[in-house]
Amino acid sequence: MRLIQCDHQGQVRAALVESEEQVRLLDCDTYTLANRAIAAGKPLSDMLTEALTDTRLDYQALVDNKRLLPPLTHTDPAHCLVTGTGLTHLGSADTRSAMHASSQKQAQAAEEDMTDSMRMFKLGVEGGKPDTGQLGAQPEWFYKGDGQCVVAPEAEIPSPAFAEDAGEEPELAGLYVIGDDGQPWRVGYALGNEFSDHVTERFNYLWLAHSKLRACSFGPELLIGELPAHLEGTSAIHRSGETVWEKPFLTGEANMAHSLANLEYHHFKYPGFRRPGDVHVHFFGTATLSFADGIKVREGDRFEIKINQFGRALRNPLRVEADAPTISVKSL
């Protein structure tokens, strides 16, 4: 079962994906639907069935008319927190090593000679999937921004003028709503383009935080229910009608050093991330980057990320902002 969100007559509405060509409108948005399910103590799928209307919409027309929205939003972007985690996949270290030249021999090096990235990856492999009731290894974690950094599927994804790079990161994202009692509830999963500045990160790993403060996109479809353990997808970059880079990628817990439960625990263990009413978008990492293959993207390139189980591909063209803002702090 998969949901989208769209602009319908000036309102944000969720819709059930019935086929590649058609969606069926709900009487509310995804956030409202999730809160109904929490209040009623019912599965989201049950509440979804109750919220269905008789209105059906042409899926492609929503795309063509730029009416697609991210599949989960909050009316106040400040109450949508976008975060992520890295070095989570079995292959993450190889990709990170390709980015950091000094890391090429780290995988075989003695632990005292490992980079922080390799040490973090090793911790995940050894302790990222703990037994029930046990605490697992803490993963890499970063903040991307609030809901203002999220762009809709098919919309341009902006790269600031001061950026050194504008690289895709094909990932899964967990989508959550926090209940009135502070309980995190997972609404579902979506495809995501976490989008980062890998040149900035590569120059000095202490700049990872800076490199992640970029736009991102997720969707267009939200997968409700259990996530398959093994997922195979494709990440591509298209330029002027031609594919300049394309590569398969693996995700899902079978291909990860960490369990999803472990990643979720280490995010929501902080009280500030259990604020009632908030929405959370949490990216789960990747092992596949065009940057690691030496690709340099250009204005107008279109990122495309697809996993069949998630329906329609996530597509976003790149827009490079022309001017960096002049910032000057004034004293009161």
Model confidence pLDDT, tens digit, residues 119-144: 877 888 888 899 988 999 999 999 99
Q: What is the pLDDT of residue 104?
A: 44
- The per-residue pLDDT for 90 is 83
Question: Which 8-state DSSP code applies to residue 162?
Answer: T
pLDDT band with cut points at 50, 70 and 90 for residue 106: very low
Enumerate the H helices of the chain as residue ranges. Answer: 30-40, 44-51, 59-64, 92-99, 116-127, 198-203, 208-212, 260-268
Q: Where are the domains of the chain?
A: 1-69, 73-320
Q: Supply the pLDDT for residue 87.
A: 84
Structure tokens at 96: 């990170």
Q: Does domain 1-69 have CATH number 3.10.330?
A: yes
Sign of the dihedral through C-alpha 257, 147, 66, 60: positive
Structure tokens at 103: 């890391």
Which residues of 179-215 form beta strands (DSSP E)?
184-193
Higher pLDDT, 297 or 93: 297
pLDDT band, very low/low/confident/very high, at 98 (cuts 50, 70, 90): low
Dump pLDDT digits (tens) for 218-235. 999 999 999 999 999 999
Distance, in Å, from the CA atom of 136 to the CA atom of 133, rounded to the nearest integer, reads: 10
User: What per-residue confidence (pLDDT) applies to 119?
Assistant: 82
pLDDT given for residue 265 in this prediction: 97
pLDDT at 102: 45
| Cβ(4)–Cβ(188) below 8 Å | no
Burial tier of 11 (Cβ tally within 10 Å: 0-12, 13-18, 19+): exposed
- From CA 83, how far away is CA 225, in angstroms rounded? 22
Strand 157-159 vs strand 314-320: parallel, antiparallel, or unpaired? Answer: parallel
Strand partners, 306: 234
Strand duo 216-223 + 150-151: pairing: parallel
Cis-peptide, bond into residue 220, ω within 30° of zero: yes
Give the pLDDT mean for 78-91: 91
Asked if the 73-320 domain carries CATH number 3.90.850.10, the reply is yes
Q: Which residue in 301, 279, 95, 72 sits closest to 192, CA to CA?
A: 72
pLDDT in tens, 159-213: 999 999 999 999 999 999 999 999 999 999 999 999 999 999 989 888 999 999 9
The string of pLDDT tens digits covering residues 271-326 is: 999 999 999 999 999 989 999 999 999 999 999 999 999 999 999 999 999 988 89
Strand-strand pairing, 22-26 and 11-17: antiparallel
Residue range 10-65, pLDDT digits in tens:
999 999 999 999 999 999 999 999 999 999 999 999 999 999 999 999 999 999 99
Look up residue 217 and give its amino acid. S
Torsion (CA) 261, 264, 268, 274 in degrees, nearest 10: -100
Please give the residue that has the higher pLDDT: either 214 or 133. Answer: 214
pLDDT of residue 124: 82
Is it the case that residue 153 has pLDDT exceeding 50? yes
What's the pLDDT score for residue 107? 44
Number of C-beta neighbours around residue 119 at 10 A: 13
Q: Please tell me whether the overall predicted TM-score, pTM, comes out greater than 0.85 for this model.
A: yes
Determine the distance from the C-alpha atom of residue 53 to the mean position of all C-alpha atoms in its chain, rounded to a whole number: 29
330 in helix, strand or coil? Answer: coil
